[in-house]
Amino acid sequence: MRYGDVLSGDWRHPKRRPVPEVEATGDVVAEDPTSGFCGAVVACDKTTVTLEDRHGRHRVFPLAPSGFLIDGEPVTLVRPTVTPARTATRSASGSTAVPNLRARVARQSRIYVEGVHDAELVERVWGHDLRVEGVAVEYLAGIDDLPAIVEEFDPTPQRRLGVLVDHLVPGSKESRIAATVTSPHVLICGHPFIDVWQAVKPARLGIDAWPSVPHGEPWKEGVIKRLGWSLTPPEAWRRIRSAVDDYTDLEPELLGRVEELIDFVTAPGSE
């Protein structure tokens, strides 16, 4: 039996998979791997491309071969054959919306929130931004076990953890638990509300203010009773959630904290 010559051909230089070219149109979200800047294409000429991140900040980059990442894979951005007119629209958080968004591959960094309602509200307002940035949000059943949860997550500079806590005020149980977490790669932010329901502006529900509920009485049931709603807590939450269209329907105490967490887990160097 004769065998082929194993030394024939250019065996020293195996074939590399070609880097695909992608037209730099308005529906493309790309990342510069050197700086970590990630954003939607807003302009492209013969030699440069301009990206806009979710804060509206612009950065100009050269159209270098294999110069960008899309979904974690290297690509070469090229000038579109026909430059379509791009209509600037806003997402629910107020950032520039990316039409026909292709979600970025999820980062190792995460944001944890206390409960299902918190997660649903964050998704309703910041869902588009989180997909642009590749940030996953997970909910906890309270934060009593937060130190163990952080230890299990094993945060690092490239694997950051942000935690949104309800009722994070001086002297509260939540503040005492949060103080036990000292990792520099974890950011714990909180709002002053007893429950995330209160982060929705009362006017959106046709009420003057959220009612006060005496200590010791179940808060959600107490609120429903004082508002005169014939609803169960899940039904009441659906009414509250449906009243939120965008960030203007939320109190600034929640808005600022969520934006701070997103910035922390997407900082340059994090994954």
List phi, psi (to 5°) of 27: -95, 10
The per-residue pLDDT for 4 is 40
| Residues 128, 38: Cα–Cα separation, whole Å | 14
Split at pLDDT 50, 70, 90, the class of 6 is very low
Split at pLDDT 50, 70, 90, the class of 269 is low
% of residues, the chain, pLDDT over 70 = 86
| Residues 147, 179: Cα–Cα separation, whole Å | 10
The per-residue pLDDT for 36 is 81
Amino acid at 171: G
The per-residue pLDDT for 208 is 92
Domain positions in the chain are 1-88, 110-200+244-265
Tokens of 88: 């600037």
Largest CA distance in the chain: 91
Amino acid at 94: G
Segment 12-40 shows an average pLDDT of 77
pTM: 0.66
pLDDT in tens, 158-195: 899 999 999 888 988 899 999 999 999 999 999 999 99
Q: Tell me the CATH architecture of domain 110-200+244-265.
A: 3-Layer(aba) Sandwich (3.40)
| Cα 211 off chain centre by | 31
| Cα 13 off chain centre by | 41
| Residues 138, 163: Cα–Cα separation, whole Å | 10
